Amino acid sequence: MACFFRRSVAAQLSRICGAPEDVLVPLLSAVPVSKKQSTPDLRLAVNSLVKNGVLSPDADLQTQTERLTKQLRVDAVVEEVISGRGVINFRINKRLLVEKVLEQLRAEPQSFGVQSELLRRLRRGRTLVEFSSPNIAKKFHAGHLRSTIIGNFIANLKEVLGNEVIRVNYLGDWGMQFGLLGAGFQRLGSQEKLRENALQHLFEVYVQVNREAEHDESVRLAAAEFFRRLEQHDEQTLSLWKQFRDITVEEYKKIYERLGVRFDHYSGESFHQSRAQEVLKELRTRRLLKTTEKGKGVVDLSAASDLSSYATLVRSDGTSLYITRDVAAALDRKERFHFDEMIYVTDKSQSVHFQQLFQILRVMGHHWAERCVHVPFGLVLGMSSRLGEVVLLEDVLNEARYRMQHNMQEAKTSKELTDPELTAEQIGVSALIIQDFKGKLISDYKFDWQKVLQAQGDTGVFLQYTHARLRSADTSESLDLQPRHLVNFLITLRYKPVMMMMMMMMMMMMMILQL
């Protein structure tokens, strides 16, 4: 779609400058839409014409900019040409833009937005996306919401673009915290309470044993012993751990179903524990694993080989760490899935961890580590409900459904629905997702229920409302999307520029998010 408008501008430039259109098209860039001020749609840096031999390098740049601007003409595509400091800005005909978008949408409803010239250049292949990755034996914390929906979006987008996608949920199901939980459950746990409310009971045990461990050395020793037996595959210890894991996965699947998220593989640190020992053996053989004065096993990542930067892979007691198992997991995945790229979706606090992981893989001679990527994101601050501070995702989803249903009941224009609770659930979930995607990915943002569920503005509720209007019989002739009707409908709504662009991307968003 952008190519049509860029080629139209490039055709004018070609007549003026004498350069081929194919040379000029890549030099025209789209301008990001701003909420704070009106922005042009396309921009040409005149210096790029000089660099590509279209204009003389000897003439004054600003003089050439103003001369070109005067020669360019307003037409059916370009509504305004504006000269800037070394740049030329173009405003395009918004009505024509909407018409072209809707024509393409009607002609290619299943591939709308993903067959552009820019996206066609992307390399296709097999993509492994690791996302969500909560810890077992705990209720699904709301902190994992962002990883879940961002990772799911990336997986959906890669799939729509023609990649073969493998979705992996890498559960936190190993480590010293299970030493604490296991030792605590052996002393404080109850199988009867586990049957009644498993995750709540495990949470209570974990909180209690953590409190005790702060002041009681014997509790910490018992936890270390439990984890040691776990790493040695003691049958009784493994049986208890497996019970915790199975219970948790079944509970998580219910949450994922509500979010419309699926996984191809449920993996976890435990799957790679034995491979982690092989990794350590290989590192020792190749003399890449060094022992510190305190008995820890580390890999030197410093350029000068002076241990000024290193990653710890083995504790002084010989047990493995999270990063050890991540190295093992990466190696195993490459062998099993032969991926072309691997994407990790976690919060920004783990950025250093993944830098070290990729460095270790490169030190080991695995050049495919260059195709491993960490997608970091900011934190969600201030989630709350009628019951106070919320940390559990189930509570957040229930709260979204409750508040949305309440808003629907209060609204005078609401129609009778066959299943109002299901509608409230679907709109509430999509509102949470759209709220999450509004800001910059890397930035923290403060959660506000009122903004999430408001019916106007660039919100999930308004997106769903507009989608319903566009799909209604009154505006699209029984789901047959007619551009002449939809263009008038969009224009009469008098969107701000941000909302105009939001609506034009709406169908693609709906397809990728699978809302």
Asked if pLDDT for residue 481 goes beyond 50, the answer is: no
Helix (H, G, I), strand (E, B) or coil at 391: coil
Instruction: Check: CB of residue 18 under 8 Å from CB of residue 36.
Output: no
Asked if pLDDT for residue 333 goes beyond 80, the answer is: yes
The amino acid that residue 402 corresponds to is: Y
DSSP characters over 90-133: EEE-HHHHHHHHHHHHHH-TTTTTS-SHHHHTSPP-EEEEE---
Highest mean pLDDT among 72-86, 402-416, 484-498: 72-86
Tell me what pLDDT residue 170 has: 92
- What proportion of the chain, given as a percentage, has pLDDT over 70? 85
Asked if pLDDT for residue 368 goes beyond 90, the answer is: yes
496 — pLDDT class (breaks 50, 70, 90): very low
Cα–Cα distances in angstroms (integers) from residue 268 to residues 87, 144, 207, 372, in the given order: 52, 16, 23, 18
- Identify which of 239, 215, 238 has the alpha carbon closest to the alpha carbon of residue 228: 238
Tell me what pLDDT residue 415 has: 66
Tell me what pLDDT residue 130 has: 97
The tokens for 319 are 């047990």
The tokens for 79 are 């509504």
Helix (H, G, I), strand (E, B) or coil at 439: coil
Instruction: Check: CB of residue 180 under 8 Å from CB of residue 203.
Output: no
DSSP characters over 225-257: HHHHHHHTT-HHHHHHHHHHHHHHHHHHHHHHH
Tell me what pLDDT residue 478 has: 39
Tell me what pLDDT residue 85 has: 93
Q: What average pLDDT does range 219-239 have in this prediction?
A: 89
How far apart, in whole angstroms, are the C-alpha atoms of residue 238 and residue 244? 10
What residues act catalytically?
Answer: 138, 141, 144
475 — pLDDT class (breaks 50, 70, 90): very low
The amino acid that residue 88 corresponds to is: I
Q: What is the pLDDT of residues 146-163, one digit of tens each?
A: 899 999 999 988 988 889
Helix (H, G, I), strand (E, B) or coil at 170: strand
Q: At what angle are helices 322-337 and 273-285 packed, to 10 degrees?
A: 100
Tell me what pLDDT residue 486 has: 42
Tell me what pLDDT residue 362 has: 95
Helix (H, G, I), strand (E, B) or coil at 43: strand
Pick the residue with more confidence: 104 or 151?
Answer: 151
Stretch among 24-28, 204-208, 302-306, 500-504 having the lowest mean pLDDT? 500-504
- Phi/psi at 303 (nearest 5 deg)? -65, -30
Q: What average pLDDT does range 328-356 have in this prediction?
A: 96
- What proportion of the chain, given as a percentage, has pLDDT over 90? 37
> In order of start, what are the domains of the chain with their CATH numbers?
2-92 (3.30.1360.70), 126-285+311-377 (3.40.50.620), 383-513 (no CATH)
The tokens for 452 are 């999430």
Tell me what pLDDT residue 87 has: 94
261 — pLDDT class (breaks 50, 70, 90): very high
| pTM for the whole structure | 0.76
How far apart, in whole angstroms, are the C-alpha atoms of residue 339 and residue 249? 25
Mean pLDDT (the chain) is 82
470 — pLDDT class (breaks 50, 70, 90): low
Asked if pLDDT for residue 485 goes beyond 50, the answer is: no
Strands 310-314 vs 297-300: parallel, antiparallel or unpaired: antiparallel
Asked if pLDDT for residue 285 goes beyond 70, the answer is: yes
Q: What is the pLDDT of residues 400-455, one digit of tens each?
A: 888 888 887 777 666 677 778 888 888 888 888 888 887 788 888 887 777 777 77
Asked if pLDDT for residue 492 goes beyond 50, the answer is: no
Asked if pLDDT for residue 203 goes beyond 90, the answer is: no
How far apart, in whole angstroms, are the C-alpha atoms of residue 494 and residue 132? 39
Strands 384-385 vs 388-389: parallel, antiparallel or unpaired: antiparallel
Q: What is the pLDDT of residues 2-26, one digit of tens each?
A: 678 888 999 999 999 999 998 998 8
Strands 164-171 vs 265-268: parallel, antiparallel or unpaired: parallel
Tell me what pLDDT residue 508 has: 46
Helix (H, G, I), strand (E, B) or coil at 443: coil
How far apart, in whole angstroms, are the C-alpha atoms of residue 510 and residue 499? 15
326 — pLDDT class (breaks 50, 70, 90): very high
Asked if pLDDT for residue 104 goes beyond 80, the answer is: no
Instruction: Check: CB of residue 345 under 8 Å from CB of residue 127.
Output: no
Asked if pLDDT for residue 176 goes beyond 90, the answer is: no
- Identify which of 363, 265, 267 has the alpha carbon closest to the alpha carbon of residue 313: 363
The tokens for 376 are 């970091």
